[in-house]
Amino acid sequence: MMAREILQQISEIRARRRAIILAHNYQPPEIQEIADLTGDSLELSRKAAQTDASVIVFCGVAFMAETAAILNPEKIVLLPRPEAGCPMADMITPEDMRRIRSEHPGVPIVTYVNSTAAVKAESDACCTSANSIRVVSSFSRAPAVYMAPDQNLAQYTAAHTSSPILHWHGYCPFHHALQPDEVLRRKEEHPGALFLAHPECRPSVLALADEVTSTSGMLRFVKESSHERFIIGTEVGILHPMGKSSPGKEFFPASEKMFCPHMKMISLDDILHSLETLEPRVSVPEDIRIRALHAVQRMLHLG
């Protein structure tokens, strides 16, 4: 089937199903182009909670679709490729979380939204890379805060809050792989270009950044900046929306290794199949959903 025919069928079935397509900023360009809404984890969480659509087609990875299901139990949530996972999310289990709580009584656990629903259910609050500082700061009366699973986000947050922070040892393989020498080499290749880094990068990389922010923060920064050239320290999928929102400016990936294959699994054919069959569905057991909802809602309330 030709791409034009697929797009036409997606458009027709989407309207008939009262479906909305959400796409993360790291998705392939053709997926972002047909999405009703694009964004980072926080934006998509909010949009999932606010939509009045009957069906949510989530173009991202499993934990994102689970978050949509947590917030929208009355809606059908579809993840066109259920095997699209998150290596970081798989680095911690609910059993690990319960052990953390027993070893650190009285210490609230703030869990990165890049985690499974079952892990969120063991948390006091969730956070994203955009609001981790605000969420941790909301526990100012606690003796410390434990952050999971991303060690790099935890260390970044610790540098910007007064709270003592303990953390798990997880990481995003694609952000953690970026090394300072690669950044310095890019700076030599592109003199004058500003370096933007995601908080999932290691501290030694963040120390070289002109700006540390989430993917949506990066999009805003480059659009508002008077600079014309940028080195981008996050997954390469962000270069597509950057080029659209800031035409005429130049963007260089900090490393070609920052490519997440899980974020590139979903195709137009997959979306069409999901809309036709209303499968594969994502659901969260109600006992887990209710407990995870508390942690997610606290995150959304803090913004």
Q: What DSSP string describes the chain?
A: --HHHHHHHHHHHHHHHTEEEEEETTS-HHHHHH-SEEE-HHHHHHHHHH---SEEEEES-HHHHHHHHHH-TTSEEE-S-TT---TTGGG--HHHHHHHHHHSTT--EEEESSS-HHHHTT-SEEE-TTTHHHHHHTTTTSS-EEEESBHHHHHHHHTTSSS-EEE--B--HHHHT--HHHHHHHHHHSTTPEEEE-TTS-HHHHTT-SEE--HHHHHHHHHH-S--EEEEES-GGGHHHHHHHSTT-EEEES-TT---GGGG---HHHHHHHHHHT-SB----HHHHHHHHHHHHHHHHH-
> Cα–Cα distance between 48 and 67 in angstroms, integer?
8
Report yes or no: 50 and 64 within 8 Å, Cβ to Cβ: no
Residues 103 and 61 in one domain: no
Q: For the segment 15-43, what is each residue's pLDDT rounded down to a tens digit? A: 999 999 999 999 999 999 999 999 987 78
pLDDT number for residue 41: 75
Residue 48 in this model has a pLDDT that exceeds 90: no
Residues 116 and 165 in one domain: yes
- Domain extent, residue 126, equals 89-173+290-302
C-alpha distances (whole Å) from 124 to each of 70, 133, 295 are 15, 15, 5
Residues 204 and 253 in one domain: yes
Residues 116 and 152 in one domain: yes
Residues 25 and 76 in one domain: yes
> Cα–Cα distance between 63 and 143 in angstroms, integer?
30
Q: For the segment 211-253, what is each residue's pLDDT rounded down to a tens digit? A: 999 999 999 999 999 999 999 999 999 999 999 999 999 999 9
Residue 1 in this model has a pLDDT that exceeds 70: no
Residues 230 and 202 in one domain: yes
Q: For the segment 61-73, what is each residue's pLDDT rounded down to a tens digit? A: 999 999 999 999 9
Residues 143 and 216 in one domain: no
Residues 31 and 81 in one domain: yes
How confident is the model over 70-98, as a mean pLDDT? 96
CATH number of the domain bearing residue 138: 3.40.50.10800
Residues 165 and 17 in one domain: no
Q: Which two tokens stand for residue 32?
A: 């972002």
Residues 295 and 152 in one domain: yes
Residues 62 and 93 in one domain: no
Residues 79 and 103 in one domain: no
Residue 120 phi, psi dihedral angles, 5° rounding? -55, -35
Report yes or no: 54 and 72 within 8 Å, Cβ to Cβ: no
Number of domains in the chain: 3
